[in-house]
Amino acid sequence: MRSLLVTGAAGFIGSHFVLRHVERFPDDHIVVLDKLTYAADIHFLDAVKDKIVFQEGDIADQALVMKLVTDHKIDTVINFAAESHVDNSIKDSSPFLHTNVVGVAALIEVCKKNPEIKFLHISTDEVFGDLTDDEPPKKVEDPLIPSSPYAASKAAGELFLMAAMRTYKIKAAVTRCTNNYGPHQASEKFIPTIIRTALADQHVPIYAEGKNKRDWLYVTDHTDGIEKVLETPWAFWDEKIGSGHFFNISADDERQNIDVAKTILDILGKPHTLLSFVTDRPGHDWRYALDSSSVRALGWKPQVTFEEGLKRTVEWYKQRLAK
């Protein structure tokens, strides 16, 4: 039996992780710490609310994290807590600096004082910056060249963790995933925005000409990859920090934004004339692509096709918006 502290699990990806983890590992003890920002919905965890401990709070509150770790004899920390929306980071980077850097540093401090803890940090492909159409997918050891304040804050969190692995010998690993989609995602994000605006027969906003490429992964395929990484022995401090500590997760299924939008309109039976091209995001990354061999070597591969995942996603938002 493990005792897990899962942060940010009232949000999109963390909630799916907890729902599936409780089902698969009913003997594990799970404590969720979440600040309940605009991106969270505590009701995402309703199905397991009697099987977990929920604590509202901030990962940057080191005393609170330490108390949870001590009271619940935590042996594993999984950090999903983040400010996660690029456009918000362009408007104001301070919440990103707080949660994605100061918050991660606070979790590291607690792990430093509890060296038996395994710390799995959830990061993003955006730390690598973008790729041209001709570049090969990013490998785990490629340099971090973030483009947005969001990506910079995630890269900074990773760098603090990398330094802590070496300096304090904490047991840690980092997963970096491509764009996720599925139920529970905050309504401001790309796919929920398309569904929401199309359902209301409003203009569906698409940055520039919609030709930017993303590699979409259904959310539970991401959380299954995280489980694979959790159950695998990680490289530890006495080894060179490198591929044994970092895992890139992706479906290897790149699509242009415009094609994703059209597929959603088709599922909803809405005309493509709803598409409305708007001024591009400043510094907009052109393409993301990851070499996911590190996690595939653990026996992981995506299970949900893009078409099936989109249908499930559209259905969930239809029901949520109808309430």
Ligand X SMILES: NC(=O)c1ccc[n+]([C@@H]2O[C@H](COP(=O)([O-])OP(=O)(O)OC[C@H]3O[C@@H](n4cnc5c(N)ncnc54)[C@H](O)[C@@H]3O)[C@@H](O)[C@H]2O)c1
Residue 58 or residue 221: which is nearer to ligand X going by CB? 58
**Segment interacting with ligand X, rule: CB under 6 A, options 106-114, 176-184, 224-232, 274-282:** 176-184
Q: Report 28-47 residues binding ligand X (CB under 6 A).
A: 33-37, 39-40
230 forms part of the interface with ligand X (CB under 6 A)? no
Confirm whether 125 is a catalytic residue: yes
- Annotated active-site residue in 125, 142, 158, 224: 125
Q: Which 8-state DSSP code applies to residue 12?
A: H
247 forms part of the interface with ligand X (CB under 6 A)? no
Who's near 26: CB < 8 A, 6+ residues apart?
51
Structure tokens given for 13: 């990806």
User: What's the start-to-end Cα distance of the chain, in Å?
Assistant: 39
**Residues that contact ligand X, how many (by CB under 6 A):** 31
Pair type for strands 213-215 and 254-256: antiparallel
Among 30, 31, 80, 107, binds ligand X (CB under 6 A): 80
Say how many residues make up the chain: 323
Q: Report 181-220 residues binding ligand X (CB under 6 A).
A: 186
11 forms part of the interface with ligand X (CB under 6 A)? yes
Q: Which 8-state DSSP code applies to residue 259?
A: H
Residue 37 or residue 263: which is nearer to ligand X going by CB? 37
Binding to ligand X by CB under 6 A, coded x per residue (else -) over 43-72, reads ---------------xxx------------
CB of 282 to ligand X, least distance (A): 20
Q: Quickly list DSSP for 102-166.
A: IIHHHHHHHHHHSTT-EEEEEEEGGGG----TTSPPBPTTSPP---SHHHHHHHHHHHHHHHHHH
Burial zone of 320 (CB within 10 Å; 0-12 exposed, 13-18 middle, 19+ buried): middle
Binding to ligand X by CB under 6 A, coded x per residue (else -) over 97-136, reads --x---x------------------x-x------------
**What does the alpha-carbon distance between residue 8 and residue 24 come to, in Å, rounded to a whole number?**
20
What residue is closest to ligand X based on CB? 11
**Segment interacting with ligand X, rule: CB under 6 A, options 20-28, 81-89, 196-204, 276-284:** 81-89
CB of 239 to ligand X, least distance (A): 25
Confirm whether 126 is a catalytic residue: yes
Tally of helices (H runs) and strands (E runs) in the chain: 11, 13
- Annotated active-site residue in 34, 58, 83, 126: 126
Give strand ranges (E) for 8-57: 29-34, 53-56
CB of 72 to ligand X, least distance (A): 16
Q: In what order do the strands lie in the sheet with 171-177?
A: 53-56, 29-34, 3-7, 76-79, 118-124, 171-177, 246-249
Burial zone of 166 (CB within 10 Å; 0-12 exposed, 13-18 middle, 19+ buried): exposed
Residue 17 or residue 234: which is nearer to ligand X going by CB? 17
**Catalytic sites, residue numbers:** 125-126, 150
- Residues near ligand X (CB under 6 A): 7-8, 10-14, 33-37, 39-40, 58-60, 80-84, 99, 103, 122, 124, 154, 177, 179-180, 186
